[in-house]
Structure formats: C-alpha cells, structure tokens
Chains A and B, each alone.
Chain A
C-alpha cells in the first residue's frame, strides 16, 4: 500500500502538472504532493523500525499486460534512500525563486524524477530497476538542457550519452545474470541472490556493473561529465543530481556488486581501491584552487562520494554501514551546500569566490547556517558526516592500513578547502557585489531547517539508522 502510494502519487502529480497553467500554483501543488510523500515514507520508515528485519512488499502480477513483473520491496536499505528522496525533493521544489518564473513543466519534471528515483530504490525486479534507472534520465536531461546555463544543451547531451552507455553495460550484465538463473528464468533480485557464481563468472559481471555505477556516481576516471553538468544545470537540477541521483550508483553497489560479486570485491579491492582513492585526493586538490563556488562544490562532491565508495568496497561491515549512512548524510549536506550557493548567487549574481567577501557581518543568520553546513561537510564530531566517515575509515583500516591512512589524510584537505572558501566568502572586506547582501528571509530560513535537523539528528544519535541496517548488512 505504502509502496503503491509512493509511486503512484508523484506520477499522477507529474501528469497533472504537465497540464498546469501558472508556475506559482504548480509549485504549491508540487510542494504539497511532495510533503505528503514525505509523510508517507516516514510511516513506512516507522513500520520498519518497529519490527526489525521487516520489509514492505508490493507484488502486482501484471506480467501478462505490462510484460514486466511489478515487484517492489522496501527493506531497511531502501527506506533510507526513499526517505532521503522524499526529504530533499520538497526542499528542492520550495527553493525555486519566484523571480525565476519556472513553468509548470519544470515542477512536473521534478515530480517525474521523484517517481523514477523512488522506483529505483523500491524495485525488486531487475528489469523494473533498469526501467526506473533509465526513466530518471529523461526529466533531468530536460531540466538541464531547458533551464540550464551556458552550453547546457551540449553538456546535457554529453551527460545523457555518457550515462546511457554506462547503463547499457548494466543491461548486458542483467541479461547475463538472467541466463544463469535456473529455469524458469527470472529477473527478481531474490533469484539472483540465490545464485552461486563462480569466480570466472563474477569477473565480467563485476566489470559491467562497476562501469555502470562508476559512471553514475561518478568515480575517477569516469567523472568528466560531472563537473560540467553540475555547473550547467539549474541549481535545482544540480541538487537532484548531486543529492539523490548519484546515490543510485552507490545504491547499485550495495544491492548488486556486494552480494553478487563477493569474491571479486574481496580479492580485487587492492586493484581498484587505490584508483578510487586517487580520485578522492584529485577532487580535493582541485577543489582547493577552484575559483568558482559551484565548481568547488562539484569537486568536493566528487571527493566525498569517492570516500563512500571506498567504504562500501572495503569488504568490512563497518565500512558498508558507514558508507550507507554517509550516502544519506552526503545527500543532505550537498543539498544544503548548494542551497547556500543559491542564496549567495541570488543576491550577488556571481559565484566567483574572489568577488565575494564580508557577508558574515551583514547576514549573521546566513553565516551561522552556512557554518553548520560547512562543518558538516568537514565531518566535525556531532555532525552527520562524522559518524559515517569514521565508520568508513574504521572499515578501511581493518582492510588495509596504508589506504586508510591516506584516506584519513584527505579529511585534512577537505578542511583546507572548505574553511578557506568560507573565510574568503564570509569574512574579509566587502566587495562590490556583496555590499547590499540581505540576510535570509523567513521562507528561506525554513528551507534550511530540515537540513540542519537531519545533520544534527544523525550526528548525535546515529544508532537508529545503524540499528536499522544491522539486520541487513551481512
């Protein structure tokens, strides 16, 4: 029931919005629908917490009509991402400024995107998963290309082709798995999990899946679409991409790579973990010298998701748990970060760090909020990232000490570029563009409230999430 609502509601909202007349009404409607969805997903989360190990099911046998078995299952891992999606989408919708004059189609596409994202996290049939995975591309492609900045058209095509190529590799892997299942063949996750794959079968499977997910996440060296796309997309699109969509790739690692290719992950980690680690350092180093705020966030995000991937592939329980927790935290933090960026750009019309300065004295409320979000990104204790990154490093340490030490060092790099950026933007002399910087309005402050609650809630009391995961991560 909950699953059906979670999928049908945004889909119908989206279809309804495509016929919408004015942007403002559409925004309110979309906001309302997404808040209702958030409430529904919380109910689902509550049910899972009350009875540990439980999962929500929804099986509709319509294969004779749809040609695909509609199998959905939300377990503890899924619900975290469903809640992440339903938490962030209302913020993203609400963040659009009145002056931007977005058409109803913009909100319709966001709702369609939400349908696809929830579908990805809730699907329990491989083809269904693939359908939603691909469906999520269509709205974000149109959002980026239609409302994006300079060169958005070319960049969005590059992005689309890049990710479609990646997901076709996944399709090959899915079909290959399908042939391995005992007759009658099946695409359901459970039938895949029951397979005993030999090492030589796991290798091609791992490569195909890893390529698809690495492009989506993105991991070094498949990241070349990411910074451009983030930069070209309107800020709402960037939030969708960075906050939720790239979690699809990480979710894929948790769902398929870890359970299906156990041996390859266990044996081969030393080959690809250094590569990922290199990407982490690479992103952080470039972020240090990045003159534009949006690109800085993009490179920081590249570095952060690399750390998550390290944790997931570190082949230890702590690493995986920390990785999943950190995925949630990163989604919240990066959206918060982009919101701060948006507030600055809205007022100053520039995101060049050198043209900003002295904001803190004029906008104390904004300075505090921005500080909290920056510290959450640096992974200070009591914020959400701390728990996740700590667990990841712990997991990595049990696996390989040298890797863990190098990864630990990147936290220093994060602090360097984050604090340097904060200092330059918020303190120092006022610049021409920041002279009339006004503090946040009430509505704008409200946008940050859920993010800050999430930062501290997970940071101070992470065990409710970890308990949820305990039964599932093995």
Chain B
C-alpha cells in the first residue's frame, strides 16, 4: 500500500520538476524514489494487512510480485538516460507515465475486489496506450498506440462485462464472497457465472498476450519505442499474470472444471503459435515479441497447475523471463542506435568488437531458450514439475516441443554475433554508453542462475 503512495508521490514530483524545467533533477529523484518504494514495500513482509474492506491485500504474494515489478522498473530506468540521450526536453511526462502505470501494476497484484482489479488494469493500460505512442514523429509508434488502444479497450470491455455478470450471479465483487458463493453452489453453477468467468479470462488472456488474443502483441511491441516495449513486455506481463493467478487462486480453485480446459487450450495454442511464429521473424524485436507470447503460454501453465507451489514457480518464471528479456532488449536498443535497424543482420559480427555485449546477449538467449545451467532452465523445469504433479503430462510435452523449436530462433542472434562477419570493423559508438549497464544485467542473470531455490521459496 505504502509503496503505491510512495511511487505516486515520486511521479507527481517528477511532473513538477519537469514543469519547472529542472531536467537534471528528474532521474535522480526516480533513482532514489524507486528503491525507497522497494524498501517500503518489503516492510509489510509477513504482516498480511488488508486495506479498505478487503479491496487491497498486502500479503506475501503481493509483496514478492510488487518487489519484482519495482525492481524491473528500476532496471528499465537505468537504461532510460542512454536511450533518450539525444532528446533535449525533460521527458517528465514519459517517466511519470511509466511510474503511474507501475502503480496500476502494483494494484493488480494486490486486489481483493474485482473493481480494484479493473482499476489496476485500466491504470496500467491507459498509461501504456500513451507510452506506446510517445514517439510522436514516428508513424509506427502512432500506429502501435492506436492498435493497442482499440484492441485493449475492447478487451477491457470484455473484462468489465465479465465482472458485471459475476456480480449478477454472486451479488458481490469481493473475492472472498465469490469464493463462498462457489463453495455453496458448487453443484449448480448458473450459466451467468460461467460466462462471466470466461469473459474475465478472455480479458486477462488479452492482457497477458495469450493466444488466440495475441494479435496485437507483435505490431504494438514492434512499433513502440524500444524502452517502452521492454516495459510492456516485462512489467505489463508480470503484473497481468500475478492478477490472473490471484483471481483464479483465491476464488475459483474449487471449480477448476469451469476454466481448466479452456486455459489448457489457451496455453497449448500460445506456446505453439508463439514459438512457431517467432521462427520466421527477421526483425529481432518482432522475434522477441513472439517469444513474449510463447513465454505467456508457459506462465499460463503455472496457473493451470495452481496447487502446490505454483505461486513460487510463477514468481521464479517472471524473474527469469523479465531479466533475460530486459537484457536482450537493452542489447537491441544499442544495436538499433548504431545500425538503425532491428534486423538480425545488424547483429553480424558484434562479438568481434563488443565481446561483453555479445556475451550478455548470448546468456540472455540461452536463458530464454531454457538451456541449463541458466535460470531459464530452472524456471522451466520447476514449472514442468509442478504441472506434471497435477497430471498435465500432455501439456508439458507440448511445452517441451515448443522449447525445442525455440532453441533455433534464440540461437540466430548468437550465431550472427559470433560467426558472421560484419561489413563494419569499427566498434560501436553506442556500446560505450550501454556497455556497463548491459554487463550489470549479465552478471545479475548469472547470479540469479545460482539461486533459483531461494526465489521459489519466497512465497
């Protein structure tokens, strides 16, 4: 709760400083404010406080996911000054919007009431619509914002409709009350309830980018400014998954026959479509977008597995996916700045003049592909184990087939970097700016690879 307040205050201060033209102050405020919010967030550990009539629940699940969201945002802000280096204006609007959308994300992990869920999603999404179009001169960015806004508000409509139907059936927005209702009426669930739940699932599947509601992802991810894409692909996705998990876990665990089959179909389709589409992409940015779709499919498995330690698995997977994705996008930003293109060809020969960056990209790719001993493997393996304990062997086999396919496209940038000669022989200018930050990301990824057990047992 206090983390939300802290971040909101930081965002408002940022806006003020921007309005008064104090450009130099903005980023330092964020660098102080976000760690502060992180600490404030941690102070609620093991206390499980419920605010405002169960509207907002600060339990360990919330705190763990909020900690990750804040941390990821901080990492993205580390790349902000280099990404926006050539921009002269203060950019307070973009930074403040990122912070506000983070607030939305934090609300989504903590909701105890469906209204709160809707508020969180809208706060996150509205900011993201704007951010997607924040490169005003670029038609692709405008296109992305427009597409995102239209499809996104459509999905929000579904979600709201579903919430309304659920309210009609149970007479409450409160998750506890809904759970009570489910327990009492397990035998004869009305159709209104089932449809409502399905519509909510559709809305959330859209937000996490699961097939068959993933069509917006490639275009929006490709068109948006890369820094914003990174933010969408990590914070946006992790928050939506935390919300999805909390929703299913707290109210609908008893009636898994209502949602399990459709989620299994969603997950299988997402994994296959995401991985197979990524095979044919020549733009690395688009490939990473489809890889994000595929990973959404894997994370859905954690929701399907539900019982046991699925929350911990989802947490581990979120960490592994987010850190590797940020690393990959950071390298992509650097390459784009130098070559002006996202194409896989622009990676050619990168290892020769920028070995550090190439190394970071390699371990990020290996981690995303789930090759031991990177953290991506631990996450996938824990996920498969928890799913298989719930008797989901066919789904796990599909997921493993997806992983096999993914090895090919994740290796393409690696191969281009190490084994293809480039036309240019001079080191990248942009590398000087990005090198240190990317190295930090790589080290973080390696350290995390050795402590998956610690992360999974947090919650």
Contact = CB atoms under 8 A, between A and B. Distances in A.
Interface in B30-51: none
Interface of B: 316, 366, 371-373, 377-378, 381-382, 384-385, 388-389, 391, 393, 396-397, 400-401, 403-404, 407-408, 411, 415, 418-420, 450-454, 456-457
A102 to B, nearest CB: 16
Interface of A: 62-68, 127, 130-132, 134-135, 137-138, 142, 145-146, 152-153, 157, 160-161, 164-165, 168, 171-172, 175-176, 178-179, 185
A235 B400 CA distance: 33
Contacts of A63: 453
Contacts of B373: 131, 135
A172 B397 contact: yes
Given A153-B419, A172-B400, A127 B381 contact: yes
Contacts of A65: 450-451, 453-454
B396 A175 contact: yes
Nearest to A142: B418
B389 A62 contact: no
5 contacts: A67-B452, A68-B453, A142-B418, A153-B415, A172-B400
Contacts of A64: 453-454, 457
A417 B381 CA distance: 47
A66 B452 contact: yes
Given A64-B457, A67-B453, A146-B418, A161 B408 contact: yes
Nearest to A141: B411
B369 to A, nearest CB: 9
- Chain A CB within 10 Å — which of B391, B420, B452, B453 has the most? B453
B411 A157 contact: yes
Nearest to A131: B372
A171 B400 contact: yes
Nearest to B416: A153
Given A67-B452, A160-B411, A165 B396 contact: no
Contact of A179 (B377, B389, B400, B408): B389
Contacts of A137: 371
Given A67-B456, A135-B373, A179 B419 contact: no
A63 B415 CA distance: 34
B456 A146 contact: no
A160 B400 CA distance: 16
A66 B450 contact: yes
B453 A146 contact: no
Given A62-B453, A175-B385, A68 B418 contact: no
- Chain B CB within 10 Å — which of A64, A68, A178 has the most? A68
Contacts of A130: 372
Contacts of B408: 157, 161
Nearest to B381: A127
Contact of B366 (A138, A145, A161): A138
Given A64-B457, A134-B377, 8 more contacts: A65-B453, A66-B450, A67-B378, A67-B456, A68-B378, A134-B372, A137-B371, A179-B389
A127 B382 CA distance: 11
Contacts of B385: 175, 178, 185
A142 B355 CA distance: 14
Contacts of B418: 142, 145-146
A127 B400 CA distance: 15
B379 to A, nearest CB: 9
A165 B452 CA distance: 25
B455 to A, nearest CB: 8
Nearest to B377: A131
Nearest to A169: B400
Contacts of A172: 396-397, 400
A444 B407 CA distance: 40
Contacts of A178: 385, 388
Given A62-B453, A64-B457, A168-B403, A175 B388 contact: yes
Contacts of A164: 371, 404, 407
B330 to A, nearest CB: 22
B451 A66 contact: yes
Contacts of A160: 407, 411
A172 B420 CA distance: 34
Given A130-B372, A134-B372, A145-B418, A175 B384 contact: yes
Contact of B404 (A127, A135, A168): A168
Nearest to B412: A157
A13 to B, nearest CB: 17
A62 B418 CA distance: 35
A178 B389 CA distance: 9
* Nearest 8 CB-CB pairings of A with B: A131-B372, A67-B453, A67-B452, A153-B419, A134-B372, A65-B453, A64-B453, A168-B404
A138 B371 contact: yes
Contacts of B366: 138
B372 A135 contact: yes
- Chain B CB within 10 Å — which of A153, A161, A164, A176 has the most? A164
B458 to A, nearest CB: 11
Contacts of A171: 384, 400
Contacts of B396: 172, 175
A352 to B, nearest CB: 27
A127 B452 CA distance: 14
B393 A176 contact: yes
B391 to A, nearest CB: 8
